[in-house]
Structure 1
Amino acid sequence: MESIKIIWDFFQKEILGMHWLNRLLGDMLNGVGLDVRERIGGSLQFFLYDTVKIFFLLCLLIFLISYIQSYFPPERTKRILGRFQGVTANILAALLGTVTPFCSCSSIPLFIGFTRAKLPLGVTFSFLISSPMVDLGSLVLLMSIFGWKIALAYVFLGLVIAVIGGTVIEKIRLEEYVEDFVRNGSSVDGMERELYFGDRVRYARGQVAFIVKKVAPYILIGVGIGAFIHNWIPENIIVGLLGDDNPFGVILATFAGVPIYADIFGAIPIAEALLAKGAQLGVVLSFLMGVTTLSLPSLVMLRKAVKPELLGIFIGICVVGIILIGYFFNAVHFLLI
């Protein structure tokens, strides 16, 4: 068992976490006269390390996930989901969200397509909640920074929110609060053709180029904010706002994520810096969920598809779920770290 633990630790730290890169960058910066123990050198090391690591993992994960996604075009997906009912359909829709776009704004067009295809509203909302919050990319990147226990717990509980949220929306029957152009629109199924290995590789490469270009500015901004928090904001300020002494830290972090438009790749550097400065684990993960699920631009887009009453219920379900999960992680953090 000890040898397995050693191998796993090496994989998590040196392969996923790329700690060798952090050490290499530190040596290089020290070699040109920048002390990484000082603010400027430490900020530059944090920025370069997280930027290279995140972009490398992002490209790799998008390629792999897009290759898998090529087996499930929208038409086929709608047919698969249409065969199931009740909680089973919600679970499948939430799981589907793990292999689809990396941000909520990209998920909303698929949500509209599924709704027009007459899939149950609760099923489409289970997909909409899970897609930005718990994609497979978040699992790998969370493992590289926080460890496998936290990563798996985050993904599992995110799926729980998606399933419960979709089930609640289905039970209270809110179809009338979907905008008419969505509810009454027609779903045009494109002709599916057989894709071969080369087709899938080209599709995956195209998705890498498209998504990286789209999210790159937000990743750089997120890494920059993380570097600033990590090296310039005194630890006592972070602890005072988001540490054990503030029982409202989870609520504060959840709503702090709303104005930020970023996917989880852009938000994780900020979360990493907050945790290193003494923020509670539940606070940090609530911030991640708030950013990825409730960002203001995505809510504005969603409002075009649903009426205010349904949008408010969606926000309420997500906020309550995220806050409860945040306090749960705070309570059990000693088991995960």
Structure 2
Amino acid sequence: MQFFIQTFDWLNNQLLKMTWLSDIIKILINKIFGLSIENRLGASIHFFIYDTIKIFILLSVLIFMVSFIQSYFPPERTKKILGEIKGIKGNIFGALLGTITPFCSCSSIPLFIGFTSAGLPIGVTFSFLISSPLVDLASFLLLMSFFGAKIAFAYVIVGLVLAVIGGTLIDKLNLEKYVEGYVREIENVDVELPEMSYKDRIDFAKDQVKQIVGRVWIYILIGVSIGAAIHNWIPQSIIEKLVGSENPFAVILATIVGVPMYADIFGTLPIAEALLAKGVGIGTILAFMMAVTALSLPSMIMLSKVVKTKLLAIFAAIVTLGIILIGYLFNMISYLFI
């Protein structure tokens, strides 16, 4: 057993955390700039270069892998799978299928429209909509590389639970009438897609890497810059005062701050890493990350064109309350993750 643990730790450090890359950058910063990472400027440069390169490498590899898997689940096939499952099982499958679909909430809206026009239960479609930007294989592995397996598994589990509960509540409230009429009227045509060859799937995965990296690179750079500033320049006392354990409203504040931001989980990771290093509670960090990914302002604007105000408000309230409760819960049991 000890052998397997040591092997896993080695693989995690070398492949996900890329400790070798960190060591190389330390040497280069010292040789090129004459700076040590014990110096704030040197530490900031190291944080920015190391996190940027690591995220882009991991992101490209993971998007390729996940997109290859996605090629087996086109929207038509997904609709058929979901259409055959009813009740709570449908919500669970909707949440699980959200883990192998788009990487941000805005990309999920077109699929949400397609599922709704196909007559899928509203609860199932909302479970999918919540899960899709929150949880996927790429985010799980990236979280593991930054925070370790315990926090990565915890994030995935609470994301799926939130998606299932949120979709179930919306279904029980019978809110179908608050979906815009034109969505229901969209003609739903099931086209039998030709089976993709292995080369087609490889090409599809490559294209997804180009598209997604091209869309999120700026948010990653912004996130890494903010993370470097938090990590090395903002005093510990200020961080603790705003979102530290002594502030009973830290989770609520982190959620409110996260909502208007437009990014995906890849852009939030460097910020979360810096906050964790400053001693911010894991629940507060998770609340921030989930608010950014599930409730970004642009996605809310897009969703407002698809559903009426009442349904949009109920959806936002359920997800926000769920995120806040998750945040406080994880702060209470944070000792389990240390």
Could you say which TM-score interval applies, normalised by the shorter chain? over 0.9
Offset, 1:280: 0.8
Match in the other structure for 1:37: 38
Match in the other structure for 2:71: 70
Give the TM-score normalised by structure 2. Answer: 0.98
Match in the other structure for 1:270: 271
**2: distance between equivalents of 1:300 and 1:223?**
26
**1: distance between equivalents of 2:227 and 2:311?**
34
Offset, 1:188: 2.7
Alignment of 1:21-60 (within 5 A): 21-32=21-32, 33-60=34-61
Alignment of 1:1-12 (within 5 A): 1-12=1-12
**1: distance between equivalents of 2:232 and 2:68?**
39
**Equivalent position amino acid for 2:307 in 1:** V
Alignment of 1:95-110 (within 5 A): 95-110=96-111
Range that drifts further, 285-294 or 185-194:
185-194
Match in the other structure for 2:143: 142
Deviations 1:6-63 (A, max 9, x none): 2222222222111111111011101121222222211111011111111111111111
- In the alignment, structure 1 segments of 5+ residues that lack a partner are none
**1: distance between equivalents of 2:154 and 2:40?**
34
Deviations 1:278-336 (A, max 9, x none): 11110011100000001111101111101110000100110111111111111111111
Three-state SS of the structure 1 residue aligned to 2:192 is: coil
Match in the other structure for 2:83: 82
Match in the other structure for 1:281: 282
Match in the other structure for 1:208: 209
Alignment of 1:1-337 (within 5 A): 1-32=1-32, 33-337=34-338
Three-state SS of the structure 1 residue aligned to 2:190 is: coil
**1: distance between equivalents of 2:283 and 2:13?**
22
Give the TM-score normalised by structure 1. Answer: 0.98
Q: How many residues matched?
A: 337
Deviations 1:197-231 (A, max 9, x none): 01110111111111110111111111111111111
Three-state SS of the structure 1 residue aligned to 2:238 is: helix
Offset, 1:183: 2.0
**2: distance between equivalents of 1:15 and 1:111?**
35
Quote the sequence identity (%). 60
Q: List structure 1 segments (4+ residues) > 4 angstroms apart after TM superposition.
A: none
Cα RMSD for the two superposed structures: 1.0
**2: distance between equivalents of 1:95 and 1:257?**
24
